[in-house]
Amino acid sequence: MKYRTLQRHFRESLKSLSRNGWMSVASISAVTVTLLLVGIFALVMMNLNHFADNIENDVEIRVLIDIINEPEKMKAAEDKLIKQVKSLPEVAEVKYSSKEEELKILIENYGEDFSLYEQSNPLRNVLYVKAKDPQQTAELAKKIDKLDNTYDVIYGEEKVKNLFSFLNTGRNIGLVLILGLLFTAIFLIYNTIRITITARRDEIEIMKLVGATSSFVRTPFLFEGLWLGLFGSIIPIFVVSIVYHYVYNHLTPRIKGEMLQLLDVTPLVFQVNFILLALGIFIGVWGSFMSVRKFLRVY
């Protein structure tokens, strides 16, 4: 195809968009409404997922270390243990906390009564271990338990199991909902485009009778689909940006310090907007392609 012809198709598509007036408005509105739903839902789901990640990442393993009476041997044993734990492939982070530090935390949390123990500290030195993938926590805990010089390995087995199964169910439901919504969006937009093109099937027939090749007939329709998607995604993009900005600024000061933090405006809003734009354009072009194809085959 010559560049000149491509330009012609480009011009024709815009012309046709304006001359088909209400049909174009109807299609663009359908795209707008559906993408708006997709956008807002995506914001909510991505934040929920973020909450889940936060909760999961808070899960850590406490490794209580055996007490050996000779301080030097104790030090050597601890160093060896730390080294061994760090070398495990699932481990993301290892933090050492001496029994003195542990007691301080205890006193901070539960009060001065515990300062009695400062005379004779019954606590043990502790390693705090985080898994790369929080879902591997149980497995990792078992591995660490088998190493020498560990007295006990604690990670709240039941609690973690329940939490993870809850979060995973939540994520799966979200995924199903998102897929359902996407499918509905594709179906709705495709149908609207198909109706507009069906109304113009005679035009396709005439073009073919005058000697237009299939690609000559098709290309302006593809451009038109692109415009429908592009123009249809403008309002959702603005709404998503403004609404999330507002919600973020409004809510963040109130939930400061809580575990549940909203995702930052950037890059989230850019990501969602990109998805909306890409989705709009893709469905627009693909919908046009499929609809025109049907009539091109006939003539």
- For another protein, the binding residues (CB under 8 A) are 2, 4-5, 8, 16, 19-20, 200, 202-203, 205-214, 216
- Give the DSSP H/E element, type plus range, for residue 128: strand 126-131
Q: 124 or 200, CB closer to another protein?
A: 200
Q: Which is nearer to another protein, 24 or 273 (CB)?
A: 24
Instruction: Answer for the pair 167, 52: CB distance below 8 angstroms, yes or no.
Output: yes
Contact by Cβ (8 Å): 133, 168: no
Residue 143 vs 200, nearer CB to another protein: 200
Which residue's structure tokens are 């012809």? 5
Residues 6+ apart with CB under 8 A from 145: 153
Give 178 or 212: the residue with its C-beta nearer to another protein.
212
Query: Least distance from C-beta 206 to another protein, angstroms?
Result: 5
Closest distance to another protein from the beta carbon of 4 (Å): 7
Residue (70 or 202) nearer to another protein, CB: 202
Q: Where are the alpha helices (DSSP H) in the chain?
A: 3-19, 21-57, 71-87, 99-110, 137-146, 157-198, 201-209, 214-251, 265-298
Task: Provide CB contacts within 8 A for 211, sequence distance 6+.
Answer: none
Residue 169 C-beta: closest distance to another protein, Å:
53
37: tokens are 């739903």
When the beta carbons of 13 and 34 are compared against another protein, the nearer one is 13
Q: Which residue from 102, 85, 101, 103 is spatially nearest to 93, judged by alpha carbons?
A: 85
CB atoms under 10 Å from CB of 206, counted, come to 12
Sheet holding 150-154, edge to edge: 91-97, 126-131, 61-65, 150-154
Nearer to another protein, 67 or 206 (CB): 206
Q: How far is the CB of 194 from another protein (least distance, A)?
A: 18
Write down the least CB distance from residue 222 to another protein, Å: 17
Q: How far is the CB of 244 from another protein (least distance, A)?
A: 40
Which of 54/213 has CB closer to another protein? 213
Question: If 0-12 CB within 10 Å is exposed, 13-18 middle and 19+ buried, where does residue 150 land?
Answer: middle
* CB of 299 vs another protein, minimal distance in Å: 9
Q: How far is the CB of 266 from another protein (least distance, A)?
A: 43
The DSSP-derived string for 38-72 is: HHHHHHHHHHHHHHHHHHHHT--EEEEEPP-SSHH
